[in-house]
Amino acid sequence: MEIKTLSPTASNLSYTERSENVRGAAWMTASMFGYVVNDAFIKRAAEDLPLFQAVFLRGLVVVVLLITIVRMRKVTVPVTAYLERPVLLRMAMEAAGTVAYLITLTHVPIAGLTAVMQLLPVAVTFAGARLLREKVSAHRVLALAIGLVGVLFIIKPGGDDFSPWFLGGLLAVGLIVVRELATRNISSTMPGTAVALGTGVVITMLGAVITIFAGWDRPDAGALGLLGAGACFLSLGYVSSVNAVRIGDISFTAPFRYSVLIFAIVLQVIVFSDVPDTLTFVGSAIVGAAGLYALAHETRQSRVTVRGA
């Protein structure tokens, strides 16, 4: 066996694509962590404040944080860039998905809703294969299938913990799939932080409009602290999510969405003092194995590309 020098051929391109997939997987895992930690903070804050007032206050912090990041990185994006169809579609789907998800979150356990949302990897992979013409290998399909088995262990369809409110999660899944497809069509000249900023502004405006009709309660220091912390993690989720979808193949990064389930279970124990049952832990182990399998296969293929007999 010997190491072969890479040249700008199809093999080199394949190696580059696989390297980007691994980066995309890392971004996806980071985004799932950011989103679910934010969910825990917003769920706790919404116990003392109207839900969309909490969304509005959190959004103000998110917008300030993202504007700071954009200015520090000296990113310049014309306002007209936000009026392009893919960007508008992404922001619209983000707003609608946020409403569906947050309303559901206030009625069901965070780990349960997160489990239902794990239908998203399968849906995104199918959409990527059908609409973006991505090549979906048998290994990627197997990773998804393994992860889905783990999800079924956790959500236990038909069990006593299953609620009609989980249908809101299914609606959110459909909206997020459209959001991800729109993200892939956004011009590569528009930085991920700028896309995230547009999303943050839209969600904040949504919270403000609904709050006008839903009423306003005076927040205490504790609630403001929760919302500020949630905003930091949501900003991480926004930026990482955009980067993950734009860098790696949707079908490869999809299994890494399952990582959010493991993060959610840990937070449910730490924040809400709710210890899951044995089947939940078994399911989490299966979900984790699915992501590790996908990553191991992609890494092995990258090595095969640069080595030859």
Amino acid letter at 133? Answer: R
Amino acid letter at 239? Answer: V
Query: What is the enclosing helix (H) or strand (E) of 271?
Result: helix 259-272
Task: Tell me which of 89-103, 128-142, 169-183, 235-249 is least confident.
Answer: 128-142
Residues 6+ apart with CB under 8 A from 251: 124, 125, 128, 129, 134, 135, 136, 137, 140
Give the pLDDT confidence of 56-106 residue by residue, as tens digits.
999 999 999 999 988 888 878 888 889 999 999 999 999 899 889 888 888
Query: What is the enclosing helix (H) or strand (E) of 91?
Result: helix 85-105
**Three-class secondary structure of residue 54 per DSSP:** helix
Overall size of the chain counted in residues? 309
Tell me whether residue 71 is exposed, middle or buried, using C-beta atoms within 10 angstroms of its C-beta: 0 to 12, 13 to 18, 19 or more: exposed
Give the pLDDT confidence of 206-226 residue by residue, as tens digits.
999 999 988 889 999 999 999
